A = this chain, B = another copy of it.
Amino acid sequence: MKVPPAGEEEAQFRALLRHEGLRMTPERSVILSEIFKIEGHFQPDDLLVRFRTNGVRISRATIYRTLDLLVSCGLVRRETFAGDAHYERAHHVEGHAHHDHLVCTSCGAIFEFYNSEIERLQEVVCREFDFELQGHSHQISGLCADCRRRAAVV
């Protein structure tokens, strides 16, 4: 399989793989670069479809395995919306590595937010329960600005 052009992220991925004694393969490279072409969220089968339509043959299993790797490397983030796994390249909101999501129940649009006060209060909650915070999942659902306007017209 032809090896696609490498980017900065690929160098990072390669370094992390080596550190773990794992290998870089054309498939992993293709998957990584495809992901970094996508703005916003995607689901594993979105990648499958993209590859199929481009004539690239990479199996579902490999996609899932590679996504797991990228998540544990921190290059990609996984999010679960109403039982559906979504992924997104890890990037930043206002300089924060972490963010949470607003999900529009009408059109499915996803917005990112970060609120340091909420983050802090979660730590307070954990202290109350003698709980060691490892992570969290926080989604606010409702109507986005566009859908509110649309609903107001009707």
Contact = CB atoms under 8 A, between A and B. Distances in A.
Interface of A: 80, 82-85, 102, 104-105, 111, 113, 115, 117-118, 121-122, 124-126, 128-145, 148
A133 B140 contact: yes
Contacts of A139: 136-138
Contact of A102 (B121, B131, B145, B148): B131
Given A122-B140, A136-B140, 9 more contacts: A115-B121, A118-B122, A129-B144, A130-B145, A131-B142, A132-B148, A134-B141, A135-B142, A137-B138
Contacts of A126: 102, 140, 142
A111 B125 CA distance: 11
A111 B129 contact: yes
Contacts of A113: 125, 128-129
A102 B139 CA distance: 15
Given A85-B83, A118-B121, A140 B145 contact: no
A139 to B, nearest CB: 5
Given A80-B82, A121-B117, A128-B113, A134 B148 contact: no
Contacts of A129: 102, 111, 113, 144-145
